[in-house]
Structures are given as C-alpha cells and as structure tokens.
C-alpha cells in the first residue's frame, strides 16, 4: 500500500474518478468532471477521526489506569474487589448506549449526520473533562464513585452516536470501490486514541511515584479531552452533510421514525449486525484495553513493560487496519470477516497460553499477532455495517446494532474477564471468552449478503 492510498493524503485523487461529478450538496456540477476538493476530503477524514479518537482515548485511560482509579474511588475494598467495582462501573456505563443509539440514530437519519456528530462530540468531551474534577473517596466518600458513574453514563450516551455516525459519514462520501478504505479511518482513530492513552499511562507510571499518581497524576489525561473536543466540533460544523443524506433530504424521503422502521422492516438484518459486532466488542476491549491490566495483575509482568507491549501492538494495529480496509474492498467484506472469526477460534487460547510464559518478547509478539487478527474484523466492520442498511435508516441501523452488542459484550468484557479468572481460577478464561465471541460473529456474518461490490442501498 502506498501513501497515495492513505486517507487524508493522496487518496483524494481517486475520488473524482470514482465519484464522478458529485459535489458536497449531492448534486452534479454540469460537465466540469470535478468532485470534492482535497481540502474538503481532508476535513471529512479529520471530522470523522477526531470524535472517535477522543472517545477511545477516554476508554483507554480508564482501562489502563484501572488499578489507580480503583484505589482512588474504592479504597476501602480489597484489591480484587476494588478492581471488579472499577470494571463493573465501566460496564454499567455501556448499558445506556443502546438508548443513545436510538436517539442519535434518530437525529442522524432525520436531522443529519453532521448535526448528530457535532453535538455528540461536545457532550462527550465535556463529560471526559469532568472526570478529572471529581474529588476522591477520601474527601467526599460514596459520592465520589456515584459522580463517576453519572459522568460515565453521560459519556456512554454521547459516545453511542460517534462510531456509527463517523462510519456512515465516511462511507457516504467514499468512492464506491474505496468504501472499505475510507471507513477504516474510524477504527484507526479508535486505536490512535488508545495509543495515546497507552503512551500517557506509560509516561505517568515511569515518571511518578504511586502516591503522586493516586493523588493527582491520574487526572491529567482526562483534562486533555476539552481542547481536543472543541477542535473536533469546530471541524465538523464547517462541513456540509453527506451527498447521500442531502439527496434523500432533497427528495423529502426521510422517515419520521427511523428506529421504528428499523425494527419493523429490517429486524433480520439488525440481528445479523448485532451478531457480527460481538467479536469486535469483546476483542477490542480484551486485546487493546484490558491487556495491560491482565499482564500486570495476572501474568505478573512489570506495569511499565505491560504498557510498552500494548503501545507497540497498537502502533502496528493502526498500520494493519488500512491494509484490511483495502483487502475488504478487493476480496469482499464477508471473506475478510469470516477469516478473522476463524483465526480467533483457532488461535486465541494458544495465544493466551503463550502470554502466561511471562517472556516480554513472546508477549509482545502475541499482542502484535492478536492485534493483526483483530484488524481483519475491525477494519472491515464499519463499511460492512453501513452497507447493510439503506440510507433512510443507515445511522439508526448502525448505531443500534453496534451499541446493543457493545453494551452486552463490549462494556462488560473487562468485568467478565476479571470475574472469569476469579471464578474459574484459570488465566486462560479471557481467551475462551474471546473464542466464544468469534463463533457468534462467524455464524452471523455467514448469514449476511456480500455488500462491497453493490451500490449503497437507498431503500
């Protein structure tokens, strides 16, 4: 893959050839043969990138600093119970995401993709910033974890529209033969957020004493959310909505109740989409968020080495994700997604066996392997889900399926992994759980139709 194929760089040169004479308003310019200019395409990519970046930066910091956060908000509990409470609170915040998916999907399909994304990033970044301001348990007692829970519920609600909206936004702008590549920007942005979170967690762990980290150091990453969110909102409000949405709006074809239409007319597709997301939901949080805690608390690896291994794995993940986007454009969404699920069924448990060796080099290689396997799923899923649903309910269909599956399996992945180890006494329990998720997704994707070569659905 050359740099000319990467989003935000020379890839804009492909758009006029593939997109014809479409302008940003969804109309054609009379015979001039031009499409969206490079500056606009860069803004589209940046607008889609930054919201997910902020969202998963927060999740990364929370996951990577889970041990510290458990000391700050649950100091009276024993170590394992405090960690379970911390991950349990993380999971509870996901239960509001299906509700957020309904509301953001309605806004996105009725009022516009841009309007939904501009509002969601503002709420999300404000909530993340507010976490840094919560007094700890030793100052306000039980109110500390209660406030943390309330703020994370707000985050869960606002984040419900981000991944789906950004994916729909990119897919609806993309040339027909490059929808997979464009949509790969979304998982790349999530990994970049995790990467920055991992780097900051590593920096804090090696530069601060435990007392400094517990008292004020953990707050620093959350403070970064405010300026990043404001930058993202500024970029988004300067863009027009997608050609597909504007064309639908021009024809006055928007549905008054898109979520109701989704459940009434497209429930089979919705079930397939929910199942297809399960591997992403479990795999993303187990491999890219829970892993530092697993390596330090279960395997016994030094905390700084745990963060370092995850950081390197994340960096390689970002590179692999664009290759996956290109592969899905060439070979089809189903083939790549089925390959990902099959690899996880076969290799996950052996990979966790190798992690238990405690060798840093082995752990690093295993994390890179698991990350590469995950990109086969994550890099394909955004275009796959967006293509499953017609324009009138695309935002709703993506948001509801993605957030429902993440509420049931993604947000609980850290808690379930910790609980399974505690209950079974087996360090391999998270691996078996991840393998089960892959089986569910394998069945769901097998039931879907191939979407990569077909035009975006309008009805």
Whether pLDDT at 397 is above 60: yes
In the chain the domains, ranked by start, together with CATH numbers, are 38-235+254-446 (1.20.1250.20)
Q: Give the 3-state secondary structure of residue 141.
A: coil
CB 130 within 8 A of CB 179: no
pLDDT tier at 6, thresholds 50, 70, 90: very low
pLDDT at 252: 67
d(CA 338, CA 2) in angstroms, rounded, equals 26
> What is the rounded CA–CA span in Å between residue 356 and residue 253?
56
Instruction: Report the 10 Å Cβ neighbour count for 426.
Output: 12
Please determine, for residue 80, whether its predicted confidence score (pLDDT) is greater than 90.
no
Q: Which residues pair with 22 in a beta bridge?
A: 28
Give pLDDT, residue 253: 67
Predicted confidence (pLDDT) per residue in 122-134, tens digit: 888 888 889 889 9
Residue among 296, 319, 158, 277 nearest 225 (CA): 158
Phi-psi region of 266 (alpha: psi -120 to 50; beta: other; left: phi over 0): alpha
Please, which pLDDT band fits residue 301 given cuts at 50, 70 and 90? confident
**Does 238 or 167 have the greater pLDDT score?**
167
Computed over every residue of the chain, the mean pLDDT equals: 83
């Amino acid at each position: 893959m050359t740099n000319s194929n990467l989003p935000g760089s020379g890839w804009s040169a492909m758009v006029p050839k593939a997109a014809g004479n479409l302008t940003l308003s969804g109309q054609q310019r009379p015979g001039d043969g031009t499409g969206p200019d490079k500056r606009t395409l860069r803004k589209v990519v940046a607008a889609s990138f930054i919201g997910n970046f902020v969202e998963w930066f927060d999740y990364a910091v929370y996951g990577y600093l889970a041990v510290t956060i458990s000391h700050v908000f649950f100091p009276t509990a024993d170590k394992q119970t405090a960690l379970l409470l911390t991950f349990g609170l993380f999971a509870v915040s996901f239960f509001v995401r299906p509700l957020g998916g309904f509301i953001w999907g309605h806004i996105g399909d009725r009022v516009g993709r841009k309007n939904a994304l501009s509002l969601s990033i503002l709420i999300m970044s404000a909530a993340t910033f507010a976490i840094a301001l919560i007094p700890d348990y030793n100052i306000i007692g039980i109110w500390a974890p209660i406030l943390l829970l309330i703020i994370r519920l707000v985050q869960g609600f606002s984040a419900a529209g981000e991944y789906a909206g950004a994916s729909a936004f990119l897919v609806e702008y993309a040339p027909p033969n490059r929808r997979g590549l464009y949509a790969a920007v979304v998982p790349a942005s999530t990994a970049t957020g995790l990467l920055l979170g991992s780097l900051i967690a590593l920096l804090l762990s090696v530069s601060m004493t435990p007392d400094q980290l517990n008292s004020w150091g953990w707050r620093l990453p959350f403070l970064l959310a405010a300026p990043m969110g404001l930058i993202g909102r500024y970029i988004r409000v300067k863009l027009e909505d997608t050609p597909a949405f504007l064309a639908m709006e021009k024809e006055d074809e928007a549905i008054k109740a898109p979520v109701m239409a989704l459940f009434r007319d497209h429930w089979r597709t919705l079930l397939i989409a929910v199942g297809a997301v399960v591997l992403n939901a479990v795999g993303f949080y187990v491999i890219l968020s829970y892993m530092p805690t697993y390596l330090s608390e279960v395997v016994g690896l030094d905390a700084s080495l745990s963060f370092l291994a995850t950081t390197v794995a994340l960096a390689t993940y970002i590179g692999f994700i664009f290759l996956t986007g290109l592969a899905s454009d060439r070979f089809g969404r189903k083939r790549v997604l089925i390959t990902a699920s099959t690899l996880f069924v076969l290799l996950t448990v052996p990979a966790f066996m190798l992690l238990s060796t405690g060798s840093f080099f082995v752990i690093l290689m295993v994390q890179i392997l698991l990350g590469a396997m995950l990109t086969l799923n994550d890099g394909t899923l955004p275009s796959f889900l967006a293509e499953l649903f017609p324009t009138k309910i695309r935002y709703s269909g993506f948001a509801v399926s993605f957030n429902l599956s993440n509420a049931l399996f993604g947000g609980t992945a850290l808690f379930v992994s910790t609980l399974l180890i505690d209950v079974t006494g087996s360090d391999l329990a998270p691996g078996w759980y991840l393998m089960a998720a892959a089986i569910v997704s394998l069945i769901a994707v097998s039931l879907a139709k191939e979407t990569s070569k077909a035009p975006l659905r309008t009805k």
